[in-house]
Chain A
Amino acid sequence: MKVALFVPCYVDQFYPNVAIATLELLEKFGCEVSYPKNQTCCGQPMSNSGFEHLTSGCNKNFVESFKGFDYIVAPSGSCVLHIKEHLHDEEHPSEAEKISKTIYELVSFLTDVLKVEHLEASFPHKVGMHQSCHGQRGLKLSQMTELNAPPFSKPQDLLNLVKDIEMIELDRKDECCGFGGTFCVAEEAVSAKMGVDRVNDHVRHHAEYITGIDMSCLMHLEGILRRQKSKTKIIHIAEILNGRKA
């Protein structure tokens, strides 16, 4: 199985360990993983700001980098959702369409394609799960509290395979953290307040770690935790699943 690793730009630059964990996980499950070195960004920062018309260069570069693989996998729900919904390439429409259909966020790739049922990992800590909105409401990685529908959670299914982990309950299971791309600076006051409230929900329930599938949300929450000099830390789910010790 030929898998291309898509590493979102801020993960590449600020959280290389998350990308390394993703790479190692995929390799453990027998994927032949490549990292196309000319990849940059999905284009979401421009699009969500209203400048989708400026993303053709990004799109072209994306299609050029990721064509010809069985699957594309990224440790981010938000970037994957963006590609699924907005990738267009007028010169290579069928390549772009194939990419949109075969791109996966890491967790759902593990549960739906690789059908992982066993993990060599242990994480003896109290952990709170942050549901990133684009993964949850966009990619349907877990059931949403707004709907009258049966519960499920792909990230939780995987965390259940990790030894000694203790998941905490939250008062608000799937409220947005307030990152929101450029929202985090354009609407700084509300963004920060949303982040503080999310962090407090985890801390109140004694989380040692906040985990999630999207590093962008976690970066925002980490910024707040560190400003508060909190003992609670963030950790991307890929690192837990890959067996990182705290």
Chain B
Amino acid sequence: MNSRACILNAVKENQPELLALPDITHLLEVENQDLVAEFTRVIEGIGAKVFQVNKYQEIIHHLKADFETEKVRVVSTLKEFDEIAKPFSGLDNHELADVELMILPTHFAVAENGASWVDDELFKERVLPFIPQHLVFIVEKEKIVPTMHHAYQLIGKKKYSYGTFIAGPSKTADIEQSLVLGAHGPRSLRVFLV
């Protein structure tokens, strides 16, 4: 008998009588709250910066102030940022290693934990949000949901190849619980609410 059959047989033999799967729809009930304010409070608490803006030009203005956009490599998948960024069209994603700033769209964000959801409908190259020194997310204000339950309701049965929730810059506290931002991924995260 191969290992697969062995394991499955043992599971079948040893698993208990069937227990009911609970209904979790009650967890969707939440108090009314200011989702933008809650999202901002939470994500700033975990090391990101939030800006409310009306136009893309405002974002460009901000980024030009914070980065030497003409000297460093800036990449974006959004054509709105053509003025300061280039798209990535290379075949080998290792070529992204020297990106200083990455500007990316998001599908939606979650107020309770500050996470933004991105999947490969937005960009095929998975390493984009992980490899730059600094990351910028564009989040639409109306697309902030209260909790993860609402988040997965939005995702539904969507067929993505890869998707991820990202909440804040990369971080570690492995050395004596001292929080350090910029472990392996981006050292900072700026979220622009439009």
Question: Direct A–B touching in the complex (beta carbon < 8 Å)?
Answer: no
B residues adjacent to A (C-beta < 8 A): none
